[in-house]
Amino acid sequence: MKIMPRNLAVFITVGAFLIAITCAEDPYRFFEWNVTYGDIYPLGVRQQGILINGKFPGPDIYSVTNDNLIINVFNSLDEPFLISWNGIQQRRNSFEDGVLGTTCPIPPGKNFTYILQVKDQIGSFYYFPSLAFHKAAGGFGGIRILSRPRIPVPFDEPADDFTVLIGDWYKSNHTALKAILDRGHKLRNPDGILINGRGPNVTSFTVQKGKTYRLRISNVGLQNSLNFRIQNHRMKLVEVEGTHTVQQMYSSLDIHCGQSYSVLITADQSDRDYYIVVSSRFTNPILATTGVLHYSNSASKVSGPIPGGPTIQVDWSLNQARSISKLAYSANLKVSLIYNLVRTNLTASGPRPNPQGSYHYGMINTTRTIIIQSSAAQVNKKQRYGLNSVSFKPTDTPLKLADYFNIGGVFRVGSISDKPTGGGLYLDTAVMGADYRTFVEIVFQNPEDIVMSYHLDGYQFFVVGMDGGVWSKGSRNVYNLRDGVARSTIQVYPKSWSAIYVPLDNVGMWNLRTEFWARQYLGQQFYLRVYTNSGSIRDEFPIPKNARLCGKASGQHTRPL
Ligand SMILES: *[C@@H]1O[C@H](CO)[C@@H](O)[C@H](O)[C@H]1NC(C)=O
Ligand SMILES: *[C@@H]1O[C@H](CO)[C@@H](O)[C@H](O)[C@H]1NC(C)=O
Ligand SMILES: *[C@@H]1O[C@H](CO)[C@@H](O)[C@H](O)[C@H]1NC(C)=O
Ligand SMILES: *[C@@H]1O[C@H](CO)[C@@H](O)[C@H](O)[C@H]1NC(C)=O
Ligand SMILES: *[C@@H]1O[C@H](CO)[C@@H](O)[C@H](O)[C@H]1NC(C)=O
Ligand SMILES: *[C@@H]1O[C@H](CO)[C@@H](O)[C@H](O)[C@H]1NC(C)=O
């Protein structure tokens, strides 16, 4: 049981309700969102979409580092609903994370006010509906966190700044897809690709010749890695999930599920329209869609061949001298080389004026190595997916609430092991324990033939290495301990591994999941319980006063006596 010293609990009145422990000096932004069903036709057929304030995709959230975001979400669907915030760290406050392990669902006809602070963050992220298979129906949107006015940004202010949400898409509505998964079957491949919720040739971005624009591209899709490119234009990568990168030019960029990238493009071609192309990577057949980059004085429509996708990346191989790792990637059909080049610009600032390289993650010794291996199997004659042989079984009581109120019988710390066990897949409510302020190495081992993508809530971690084959201690010799990028979603190539370093400086119950959404739904996730017994609000906020209570937590009180 956590004892909250009463005199430390500071409450500030905002609107009609009380908000625990926010920083009074940081600005507030208020949002009121009505979540409804509505007909959408992104691929030409009518579907049941999930709209936010009538929009699909939902509205963008604009914010500045340290802003408090007060988002009152009204659930006008006929089933429970939750929104989660991909890449927003919610420091000391996993109660607001909006996943089933931390937050009670918003019942139909009810509302819940999320109280977030984008503390010490900059960059490009997105929100999405985390329950059931809602993500296949919309309910997602962009989140951008701008630097505070006097913090230098390592590039000139762009003429405009566009959110570009790309993702694969099914023509079926989410209830039909969920029913297939509930029956224990796999889903067939998606039907197409959307750009900002629209199918081929619809989405258009208007630019003026000679000016430079920022595109914040997030893959909000369900399973496919996507390649993004613009006819006759190159892109300068400047930011990855909150880190300013070494700025490099790309003619095309792979964006794996759940990942976000910012690029700058300069409208330096003649006045006409150009294709924007998004196509699936490593799939057979390839799914593709197009949008339009429209010059404001354009004299002609898009023309010429649609630019082809990457085979062997010339841009990338040219830079191999500076690459952090070289991967042998064997797809079903062909072998290609991929160079993972994304690096941090150590002299650029992040949310604060000091250089991003001032935190020397490579000088800190890790205290623990966790190896996570995916697997897929039938359990009780139904398709399931797991990590280290455990397929996650959700509970009615959010794990965070069970922990906070000290309710037994909901989960067991240590119900997933630190290393692959080699055993068969089984169901459990997987929770891994970890001590606050330890520094851990996590290796994702992918024995399968598909690209995996993993996301950790509550954190930005350092990407230290990737390579083909099976990870071993010797693999540390290829680690980048200098300028690996800090981000929250990492890809793992087929029959390969990716390694990250995580400073566990955020107490809470944090979801680690695959971004392959059907697999996530069928158990490929667990919770990392980052724990301290200090009981201090310096380490973790108390439960929000407006928290919804459900399951075995129903009879509890949010303000401790
Ligand atoms: C949400 O939208 C629905 C449909 O337009 C409407 O009936 C309902 O009153 C709205 N709820 C709120 C809280 O605005
Ligand atoms: C879901 O999709 C099916 C098949 O297209 C359709 O018949 C049904 O009306 C849809 N459901 C809703 C609630 O829109
Ligand atoms: C629901 O919305 C009302 C304002 O319309 C607000 O006072 C109340 O706190 C919200 N409920 C929750 C649980 O956040
Ligand atoms: C790194 O950031 C610095 C400081 O803003 C900037 O001057 C420099 O151009 C950037 N370098 C690269 C390679 O991105
Ligand atoms: C998109 O536009 C291109 C060029 O006009 C055309 O070839 C293609 O068929 C269009 N696709 C769709 C689905 O309309
Ligand atoms: C890390 O471990 C090495 C080898 O055990 C040791 O020599 C070094 O002092 C440690 N570094 C720090 C910062 O603790």
Q: Whose CA is nearest to atom 6 of ligand 4?
A: 154
d(CA 38, CA 137): 10
Query: What is the residue range of 411's domain?
Result: 355-553
* This prediction's pTM: 0.92
Closest CA to 215 of 279, 265, 180: 265
Q: Residues 138, 12: one domain?
A: yes
Task: Write the single-letter amino acid at 326.
Answer: K
> Do residues 532 and 392 both lie within one domain?
yes
**Where among 123, 146, 169 does a domain terminate?**
146
**Ligand found nearest the CA of 173:** 2
| Closest C-alpha among 232, 200, 235, 231 to residue 214 | 235
Do 389 and 510 belong together in one domain?
yes
Q: Do residues 434 and 497 share a domain?
A: yes
- State how far the Cα of 70 lies from the Cα of 55, in Å rounded to an integer: 19
Question: Under a CB-based contact definition with an 8 Å cutoff, are residues 132 and 180 in contact?
Answer: no
519: left (phi over 0), alpha (psi -120 to 50) or beta: alpha
Measure 546 CA to ligand 3 centroid, in angstroms.
Answer: 8
What H or E segment, with its residue span, contains residue 155?
none
Q: Taking Cα atoms as reference points, which of 453, 457, 456, 455 lies closest to residue 516?
A: 453
Amino acid letter at 352?
R
Asked whether residue 12 is assigned to any structural domain, the reply reads yes
Pocket test for ligand 3, best of 30, 76, 110, 546 (most atoms within 8 A of CB): 546
Read off the tokens for 349.
């600032």
Evaluate whether 525 touches 514 at the Cβ level (below 8 Å).
yes
Task: Please report, for the domain that includes residue 115, its CATH number.
Answer: 2.60.40.420
Per-residue pLDDT of the chain (561 residues; tens, 9 = 90+): 333 333 333 333 333 343 444 455 899 999 999 999 999 999 999 999 999 999 999 999 999 999 999 999 999 999 999 999 999 999 999 999 999 999 999 999 999 999 999 999 999 999 999 999 999 999 999 999 999 999 999 999 999 999 999 999 999 999 999 999 999 999 999 999 999 999 998 999 999 999 999 999 999 999 999 999 999 999 999 999 999 999 999 888 999 999 999 999 999 999 999 999 999 987 878 899 999 999 999 989 998 888 887 753 433 332 332 332 333 333 322 223 334 568 999 999 999 999 999 999 999 999 999 999 999 999 999 999 999 999 999 999 999 999 999 999 999 999 999 999 999 999 999 999 999 999 999 999 999 988 999 999 999 999 999 888 999 999 999 899 999 999 999 999 888 999 999 999 999 999 999 999 999 999 999 999 999 999 999 999 999 999 999 999 999 988 754
Question: Is 200 inside a domain boundary?
Answer: yes
Give yes or no for a contact between 475 and 402, defined as CB atoms under 8 angstroms apart. no
- Pairing mode, strands 123-129 and 141-146: antiparallel
Cα–ligand 5 centroid distance for 289 (angstroms):
9
Residue 477's φ and ψ, nearest 5 degrees, are -65, -25
Q: How many other CB atoms are there within 10 angstroms of residue 205's CB atom?
A: 18
Residue 286 phi/psi, 5-degree rounding, is -85, 130
Residue 341 lies inside a defined structural domain of this protein: no
- Residue 479 Cβ inside 6 Å of ligand 3? The answer reads no
Q: How far is CA 409 from the centre of its chain?
A: 30
Q: Please give the tally of structural domains in the chain.
A: 3
Amino acid (one-letter) located at 95: F
Final residue belonging to a domain, choices 96, 120, 146: 146
Is the CB of 17 within 6 Å of ligand 3?
yes
The span from the CA of 191 to the CA of 172, in Å, is 9
* Domain match, 194 and 228 both: yes
Total Cβ atoms within 10 A of residue 138: 29
- In the listed set 284, 312, 340, which residue is the last one of a domain according to the structure? 312
Shared-domain flag, residues 126 and 166: no
> Based on the domain organization, do 417 and 291 belong to the same domain?
no
Write out the H or E segment, with its range, that includes residue 489: strand 489-492
Nearest alpha-carbon partner for 485 in 503, 473, 505, 501: 501
Which residue is associated with the tokens 């799914």?
A: 287
> Which ligand minimizes its atom distance to the CA of 367?
6
| 220 and 139 within one domain | no
**Phi, psi (degrees; rounded to nearest 5) at 399:** -60, -40
Q: Are residues 259 and 129 in the same domain?
A: no
What torsion do the CA atoms of 61, 64, 66, 67 make, to the nearest 10 degrees?
-50
Cβ < 6 A, ligand 4 pocket:
152, 154, 246-247, 345, 347-348
Q: Choose among 10, 24, 121: nearest CA to 349.
A: 121
For residues 101 and 230, membership in a common domain is answered with no
Q: What are the two backbone dihedrals, phi and then psi, of residue 347, each rounded to the nearest 5 degrees?
A: -95, -10
63: closest CA among 150, 122, 140? 122
3-state secondary structure 499-515: EEEEECCCCEEEEEEEC
Ligand 6 atom, smallest distance to 365 CA = 1
Alpha-carbon radius of gyration of the chain = 23
Collapsing DSSP to helix, strand or coil, 6 comes out as helix
Q: Are residues 83 and 172 in the same domain?
A: no
